[in-house]
Amino acid sequence: MKTKNVMIVGVGGQGSLLASKLLGKLLTQQGYDVKVSEVHGMSQRGGSVVTYVRFGDKVYSPVIADGEADFIVSFEKLEAARYLKCLRKDGKIVVNAQRIDPMPVITGAAAYPDDVLDDVRAKGVFVDEIDALALAKEAGNAKSVNIVLMGRLAKYFDIPHDKWIEAIKSTVKPQFVDVNLKAFELGYQQ
């Protein structure tokens, strides 16, 4: 099969690295050749964080270039728009409806384009917007936004539901398994 590309983008501290770890583990267990690559030097410092997950029969490059992503999973609205250039023409965006102001917006040096996702949709791009923060809170922990979004992404994958559950159980810390399984279901069923 042709190599598939998933980009996971968000704001440092949102848990995108764990999401990529989960996805990488799941895809490896499915027998794919997998490469996961990230730059996380600023991961706790609120900067823009990008992770690449690539899988297929044989994956060479560890990075996704412009116009190559089959999916962009964005933990924040602005970040989905920022990495739009990486999306394949028929690619899909799964995005958390949350708005997190970057420092230039906080200081008033720049404005947050609140209808940025409408601009993206206007270009004919498939955008699946979900209030992952609300669902994460419903699951019992605001920090499970990452797993809610993985639940949503799972709908577009041909991987059995129980394999996702197994991967979550083996990835998150034991004390957080229950809340994350709930978060996954909420994202999956929403």
Partner 1 sequence: MGAERKGGGRGRLRRVAARCQKRLCNEARRSNVAADPLFTLSYTGVGGGMVLFVADDPAMHSSQNEQDSRHYAIAAKVPMLEPADSAEAKDFVKRAFDISEQYDTPVIVRMCTRIAHAQSTVALCDRVEKALPAYEKNPQKYIMAPANAIRRHPFVEARTEKLRALGETSDLNREEMGGTDLGILCSGTCYQYVKEVFGDTVSVLKLGLVNPLPVERIKAFAAKVKKLVVIEELDGVIETHLNTIGVPCVGKAMFPPLGEFNQTTIRKAFGLPVESAPAIDTDIPVRPPVMCAGCPHRGLFYTLAKHKITCLGDIGCYTLGSAPPLTALDSTLCMGASVSGLHGFNKAGGSDSEHKTVCVIGDSTFMHSGITGLVNIAYNGSNSTVIILDNSITGMTGHQQNPTTGYNIKGEPALAVNLEALCRSIGIERVRVVDPYNLKECEDAILEELAADAPSVIISRRPCMLLKYVKAKPPVKVNEAKCVGCRQCMKLGCPAISFKNKKAVIDATQCVGCGVCTALCRIGAMEKGDA
Q: Estimate the crossing angle of helix 177-189 against helix 145-154, to 10 degrees.
A: 40
- Using CB under 8 A as the binding rule, whether residue 26 contacts partner 1 is answered as no
Q: For residue 5, give both structure tokens.
A: 């590309």
- Using CB under 8 A as the binding rule, whether residue 2 contacts partner 1 is answered as no
- Using CB under 8 A as the binding rule, whether residue 97 contacts partner 1 is answered as no
Dist. CA 65–CA 93, nearest whole Å: 16
Q: Which of 6, 8, 23, 120 binds partner 1 (CB under 8 A)?
A: 120
- Using CB under 8 A as the binding rule, whether residue 1 contacts partner 1 is answered as no
Q: Which stretch in 117-125, 151-159, 160-168, 169-177 sits in contact with partner 1 by CB under 8 A?
A: 117-125
- Strands 4-11 and 33-39 come out as unpaired
By rule CB under 8 A, what count of residues binds partner 1?
61
**Listed residue (180, 174, 117) closest to 150, CA to CA:** 180
Residue with Cβ nearer partner 1 (103 or 189): 103
Q: Which of 123, 158, 162, 175 binds partner 1 (CB under 8 A)?
A: 123
Q: Which residues contact residue 16 at a Cβ distance below 8 angstroms, ignoring those fewer than 6 apart?
A: 8, 9, 10, 49, 51, 75, 146
Q: Which amino acid appears at position 79 of this protein? A: E
- Could you give the residue ranges of the DSSP H alpha helices within 74-131? 77-82, 103-106, 116-121
- The partner residues of 7 in beta bridges, in order of sequence, read 52, 72
Q: Which of 57, 142, 159, 189 binds partner 1 (CB under 8 A)?
A: 142
- Using CB under 8 A as the binding rule, whether residue 141 contacts partner 1 is answered as no
Q: Which residue has 């957080």 as its token pair?
A: 176
Residue with Cβ nearer partner 1 (39 or 189): 39
Q: Which of 57, 97, 99, 103 binds partner 1 (CB under 8 A)?
A: 103
Q: How far is the CB of 69 from partner 1 (least distance, A)?
A: 9
> Which residue ranges make up the site for partner 1 (CB under 8 A)?
11-12, 21, 24-25, 28, 33-42, 44-48, 59-63, 65-68, 78-79, 81-82, 84-89, 101-113, 116, 119-120, 122-125, 142
